[in-house]
Amino acid sequence: MKKGFDNDKYVKIQSEKIRERFKLFDKLYLEIGGKLFDDSHASRVLPGFKSDAKINMFKELKDDLEIIFCINAGDIEKSKIRGEYGITYDNEILKLINNSKKMGFSVNSVVITLYKNQVSVDKFINKLNRNGIKTYIHTFTKGYPTDVDTIVSEEGYGANPYIETTKPLILVNAPGPGSGKLATCLSQIYHENKRGINAGYAKFETFPVWNLALKHPVNLAYEAATADLADVNMIDPFHLEKYGETAVNYNRDIEMFPVLKSILNKVCQKDIYYSPTDMGVNMVGFCISDEKVVEEAAKSEIVRRYYNEMNNYKLGLCNEDTYKKIKLLMNELGIDENYLDVIKPALDKRDKENLPVIALKVGKKIITGKKTDILTPASSVVLNALKELSKIPDDIKLLSPVVVEPMLKLKKELGNGSHLTLSETLTALSICSVTSDMASKALSCIKKLRGCEAHATYIVTGGDKKSLKDLKINITCESEYMEEEA
């Protein structure tokens, strides 16, 4: 894939801007918007953006920072799922903590926000405490959002426990939106200023990109990604009024800015920011190196989001307003459901074979794979793609019956179906690679599947869905069911 984004330039100038903001305060609470460790959305819409760019940026500062993680008690109670990884928010918190510690970062604690004495939340708190992770409980802030005098008082933020921090830079992160990061930052700033510490707030932004056009595909891709939250990009009126400069922000930040400005003014006894855009540190727009590549990537992402929300609607995970909103964004850009060039070949193959099919683009060639007597469509298409990448003739069998037959026999005996899932197929291929040069050659190309586009004629679920995500294949699916066996 062609690059359209200069990651090295981004790391350099974004780091410089963070350091500039860092120097304005004795202690800075930096809210991290989006994903801290694996920003796959950014890497898809900005080809060349490294998904670990954010966390790598902080490595040089890790001796001066610590991390607070926030999670909404309601998300724990509802077992809310991180769609990108298919795991619950509470498990994602544990994953984030482990990743942070492995990289040498100091993890301060976890804040449970909007706590209402939920039993499931208490169990999670016990799990954290037993693993040596400090937890703090925040309930609803009295007076929020209109009564600033109550909010900035001992009845409001003062009712929250003070989180003891020792570093000058505190990253505040969460597994997803609505986790209470901003409220946690403001609560801490209230407590810090009461203790005579000049503490401030800023937001590490990625999307929307303030200095791109309101209807730029990258900004519309952000709207598509947050369609379930009803986010809408808007011109920041506060920024325009103060600086005479057009800047893009989104409705929630703009709507809440007057309240936030009043709170910060009352806490700090002065105006810190004059617009929502002021609060953010976002240099993404200055690092786009190929506009055409980026626009194409953003349009593709919007179509992926459309199919994903169509599937979620069919699965009962969202209402129809979500995918309809994305469809309107597609209409604005003049693109339709067949925009991705893997879609039509998949549908044509399905109609011809009358079988479930996945089409996958390798380089400029589109490979298809169908459900066979022993393989799922995902297994078939990946094996076919590996043959293409390794220049192995299509009639060569990569899997030995000596390996496959006992695996299928065991699956049937355990009642786990009669087809090898993608994970099982790759396991079989790795076993075969010990004695087969062809299998070894094919397996060596597996990393080349990263970032490839694929389309399924059915909703891929279960193990195959996870395996495709693990391979970093961008999969879209028709909203049709196929009987799952494993």
pTM: 0.91
pLDDT at 81: 78
CATH number, domain at 454?
3.40.140.40
User: For the segment 316-353, what is each residue's pLDDT rounded down to a tens digit?
Assistant: 888 999 999 999 999 999 999 999 999 999 999 999 99
166 located within any domain? yes
Task: Please state, in angstroms and rounded to a whole number, the distance separating the CA atoms of residues 409 and 392.
Answer: 28
**81-82 and 87-88: which strand pairing?**
antiparallel
Domain count, the chain: 2
335 located within any domain? no
312 located within any domain? no
Paired residues of 18 in beta bridges: none
Asked which of 286, 321, 350 is the last residue of a domain, the reply is 286
**Could you list the residue range(s) of the whole structural domain that residue 276 is in?**
7-286
* Spatial contact of 143 and 263, defined as CB atoms under 8 Å apart: no
Query: Do 63 and 164 belong to one domain?
Result: yes
Query: Do 281 and 152 belong to one domain?
Result: yes
CATH number, domain at 55?
3.10.630.10
| Three-state DSSP state, 83 | coil
397 phi and psi angles, rounded to 5 deg: -90, 120
Q: Which residues contact 185 (CB under 8 A, 6 or more apart)?
A: 29, 31, 172, 201
Query: Do 264 and 397 belong to one domain?
Result: no
Asked which of 286, 304, 329 is the last residue of a domain, the reply is 286
Task: Please state, in angstroms and rounded to a whole number, the distance separating the CA atoms of residues 446 and 404.
Answer: 20
pLDDT at 79: 86
Residue 288 DSSP class: B
Task: Please state, in angstroms and rounded to a whole number, the distance separating the CA atoms of residues 159 and 187.
Answer: 9
Task: Please state, in angstroms and rounded to a whole number, the distance separating the CA atoms of residues 338 and 304.
Answer: 11
Query: Do 233 and 136 belong to one domain?
Result: yes
> Percent of the chain beyond pLDDT 70?
98
Q: Pick the closest to residue 300 from 344, 346, 335 (CA basis).
A: 335
Q: For the chain, what percentages of helix, strand and coil (3-state, to nearest 5) are there?
A: 50, 15, 35
Helix axis angle for 401-413 and 422-432, nearest 10°, is 140
For residue 302, the one-letter residue type is I
Query: Do 270 and 414 belong to one domain?
Result: no
User: For the segment 168-214, what is each residue's pLDDT rounded down to a tens digit?
Assistant: 999 999 998 889 999 999 999 999 999 999 999 999 989 999 999 99
What tokens were used for 469?
């995500």
Query: Do 345 and 281 belong to one domain?
Result: no
352 located within any domain? yes
Task: Please state, in angstroms and rounded to a whole number, the distance separating the CA atoms of residues 254 and 275.
Answer: 8
Query: pLDDT-derived band of residue 87, with 50, 70 and 90 as boundaries?
Result: confident
Task: Quickly count helices (H) and strands (E) in the chain.
Answer: 20, 15
Task: Flag whether pLDDT at 485 surpasses 60.
Answer: no
Query: Do 158 and 275 belong to one domain?
Result: yes
325 located within any domain? no
